[in-house]
Structures are given as C-alpha cells and as structure tokens.
Amino acid sequence: MQELKKEILKSIVPRAVLFPMNEKAKASIANEKLISITRFPYKIGRESRVSKNERG
C-alpha cells in the first residue's frame, strides 16, 4: 500500500514550480500564484550534453 501511495504522489506532484517574485513577473503569468511544471520539454544540464551513443 505504501508503494502505491508513493507512485500516486509521484504522478501528481510537479517536478518544478515557477513562482513570480515581482509585479512584472505576476503580470506575465496572468496573476497566477504559481506555475507547475510536470514535464520538461527539453533536456537540462549534463543530460543535454550526452549523446545517445555515449549513454549506450
């Protein structure tokens, strides 16, 4: 049961969140309190620099 709970939470909890720090940032996201990022549409950091052949 604990494993099921962990899997459910993992599927619901965002990977990152954008939080506006000033008025211009708030206006740019239509005055939302925060923006959830559940999936990154691109690779970040080292992952983006490693080619498919290097990973195996």
Residue 20 lies in a domain: yes
Name the token pair of 40. 């990154």
How many domains, in total, are found in the chain?
Answer: 1
The domain in which residue 34 lies consists of 8-41
Question: Is 54 part of a structural domain of the chain?
Answer: no
Does 17 fall in a domain? yes
Residue 13 belongs to a domain: yes
Give the pLDDT of residue 26.
Answer: 87
Please, which residues bridge with residue 2 across strands? none
Tell me the pTM.
Answer: 0.47
3-state secondary structure the chain: CHHHHHHHHHHHCCCEEECCCCHHHHHHCCCCCCEEECCCCCCCCHHHHCCHHHHC
Residue 27 forms part of a structural domain? yes
Read off the pLDDT of residues 24-39 as tens digits, 9 standing for 90 and up.
988 888 878 888 888 8
The reply to whether 49 falls in a domain is no
Q: Does residue 56 lie within any of the structural domains?
A: no
